[in-house]
């Protein structure tokens, strides 16, 4: 019973860590990367569709991203979605592809992005701790129901605490890497 609860908690915590790391890729550094735009939703024939399903991406230069729609009819909609996003870039289109030129980040903007990354990391830590809390409640309920002994509960809680610290540490390391990347000129 305790193994099941711990394995479930580990799985959920790993998903939370992965989600935070995925969120970090959406924060712009000095380089162009498809992760910045691939999650943008485009109004494609009346329904929201992620850009990654409508177009291919290329990075010909470190500060330039080329978006090539699979269907030329979707080009204006993709262009509008990029323009309306909070990326801070103006798309230029030649009728076949959309080019995004990313200007170098100012010091002020870098610090702003670091704050955003810290906030994302904190949300991830909170999610991991909430998973720990739910697993602990489940374990305590099992102990009250007589399914596990008090010693088993104590061992499982110690293991749960260790697992939680490992996952929070993963989030902290990913946040530190992203902050270093952002502050690198």
Which domains does the chain carry? 2-25+106-183 (1.10.132.20), 34-101 (3.30.1360.40)
Where are the alpha helices (H) located in the chain, listed in sequence order?
Answer: 2-25, 51-54, 75-84, 107-144, 150-183
Positions of the chain with pLDDT lower than 50, given as ranges: none
For residue 102, what pLDDT is reported?
A: 81
* DSSP reduced 3-state for 87: coil
Cα 154–Cα 159–Cα 164 angle in degrees, nearest 5: 125
List pLDDT tens digits, range 40-61: 899 888 899 998 898 999 988 8
* pTM as predicted: 0.74
* DSSP reduced 3-state for 158: helix
């Amino acid at each position: 019973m305790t193994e099941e609860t711990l394995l479930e908690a580990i799985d959920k915590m790993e998903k939370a860590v992965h989600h935070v790391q995925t969120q970090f890729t959406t924060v712009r550094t000095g380089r162009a990367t498809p992760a910045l735009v691939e999650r943008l939703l485009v109004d494609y024939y009346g329904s929201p569709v992620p850009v990654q399903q409508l177009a291919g991406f290329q990075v010909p230069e470190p500060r330039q991203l080329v978006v090539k729609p699979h269907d030329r009819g979707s080009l204006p909609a993709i262009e509008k979605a990029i323009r309306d996003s909070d990326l801070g870039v103006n798309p230029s289109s030649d009728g076949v592809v959309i080019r995004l030129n990313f200007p170098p980040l100012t010091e002020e903007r870098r610090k702003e992005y670091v704050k955003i990354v810290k906030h994302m990391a904190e949300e991830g830590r909170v999610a991991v701790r909430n998973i720990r809390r739910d697993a602990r409640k489940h374990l305590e309920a099992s102990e009250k129901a007589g399914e596990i002994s008090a010693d088993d509960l104590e061992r499982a809680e110690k293991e749960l605490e260790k697992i939680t610290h490992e996952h929070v540490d993963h989030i902290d390391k990913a946040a530190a890497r992203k902050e270093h990347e952002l502050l690198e000129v």
